[in-house]
C-alpha cells in the first residue's frame, strides 16, 4: 500500500497484519515506516510516490520479495488547505502529482501481478471533501473527485482480469496529523462529531475495516463503487 507509515495508512497496515497477511507499504516517512515495519512484521520501502519510476520499482520489488500482489491500497495523499487565489500552476501540478497521478500508475503497474493470480482488489482513497464543495482545498478536492472517475474507468478496464477496483471516501477521520493541523482542541473535534449522524469520533481503524472488506472475497462481486465512511457527516 502507499502512504502506510502513519495515520489511516498505519491503521490499515496493522489491520492486514493482524489477519496474517503479507504486507508491504511505501512512504516518505522513513523513521515511522521502519518502526511500523518492526511492529507488524511488514516490508517497508522508503519511496516518494510522485517519483513514478521509483513507485513502479517498489511494486516490482514487493512482487519479487513477497510474491504477486493480490491487494493494492492507494492511500497516499496530502490534504493541505489552500486558498483559491493562492493556487499557481506549480502548486496545482504538485497536488495532482501527490493525490491523483500515483493511483493510476500504481494500479497500472500491479495489474500484471494480479493477472498471474487470476484476480485481485484495488482500493483507491478518495474523500468526502469534493462532494461538499471544499473551497479551502480546491486542488485536493479536484484530485479526490478524479479518483472516483478513475476507479470507475479501471473497474471496467480491469474487470476482464477479475480485478476489482473500488474507492473509499473517508469523512473527518481524527488522526494525529489532523489533530496537529486542523482539530487542535477537543472543542473542534466535538463540533465535527456533532454534525455526524453517528456521534462517535471517526478513527482510522473504522476505515481499515472497510478496506479489509473490499480486499476480501466477501466483496467479490463489488467493483466500480465508491463507499463513504463518514458516520453520516455528509
Q: Is 3 helix (H, G, I), strand (E, B) or coil?
A: coil
- For the chain, the first-to-last Cα distance in angstroms comes to 27
- What dihedral do alpha carbons 202, 204, 206, 212 form, nearest 10°? 160
Judge whether 35 and 80 are in contact, CB under 8 Å.
Answer: no
Nearest to 206 by CA among 234, 178, 180, 170: 170
Backbone dihedral angles phi then psi of residue 37, each to the nearest 5 degrees: -60, -40
Residue with cell 498471474: 116
- Rounded CA separation 106/148 (Å): 16
Q: With residue 172 as reference, give the H or E element that holds it.
A: none
Q: With residue 168 as reference, give the H or E element that holds it.
A: strand 163-170
- Rounded CA separation 36/113 (Å): 25
Backbone dihedral angles phi then psi of residue 20, each to the nearest 5 degrees: 85, 15
Q: With residue 123 as reference, give the H or E element that holds it.
A: strand 120-125
Judge whether 4 and 27 are in contact, CB under 8 Å.
Answer: yes
**Residues catalogued as catalytic:** 140
Amino acid at each position: 500500500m502507499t502512504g502506510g507509515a502513519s495515520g489511516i495508512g498505519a491503521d490499515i497496515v496493522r489491520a492486514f497484519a493482524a489477519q496474517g497477511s503479507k504486507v508491504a507499504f511505501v512512504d516518505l516517512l522513513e523513521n515511522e515506516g521502519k518502526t511500523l515495519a518492526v511492529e507488524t512484521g511488514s516490508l517497508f520501502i522508503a519511496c516518494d510516490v510522485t517519483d513514478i519510476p521509483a513507485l513502479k520499482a517498489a511494486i516490482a520489488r514487493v512482487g519479487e520479495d513477497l510474491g504477486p500482489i493480490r491487494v493494492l491500497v492507494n492511500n497516499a495523499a496530502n490534504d493541505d488547505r489552500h486558498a483559491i487565489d493562492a493556487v499557481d500552476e506549480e502548486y496545482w501540478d504538485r497536488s495532482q502529482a501527490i493525490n491523483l497521478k500515483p493511483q493510476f500508475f500504481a494500479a497500472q503497474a500491479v495489474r500484471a501481478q494480479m493477472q498471474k493470480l487470476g484476480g485481485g482488489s484495488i482500493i483507491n482513497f478518495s474523500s468526502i471533501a469534493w462532494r461538499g464543495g471544499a473551497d479551502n482545498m480546491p486542488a485536493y478536492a479536484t484530485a479526490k473527485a478524479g479518483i472516483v472517475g478513475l476507479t470507475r474507468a479501471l473497474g471496467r478496464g480491469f474487470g476482464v482480469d477479475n480485478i476489482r477496483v473500488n474507492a473509499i471516501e473517508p469523512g473527518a477521520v481524527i488522526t494525529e496529523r489532523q489533530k496537529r493541523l486542523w482539530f487542535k482542541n477537543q472543542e473542534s473535534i466535538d463540533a465535527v462529531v456533532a454534525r455526524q449522524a453517528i456521534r462517535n469520533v471517526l478513527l482510522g481503524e473504522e476505515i481499515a475495516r472497510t478496506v479489509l472488506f473490499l480486499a476480501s472475497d466477501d466483496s467479490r462481486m463489488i467493483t466500480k463503487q465508491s463507499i463513504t465512511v463518514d458516520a453520516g457527516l455528509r
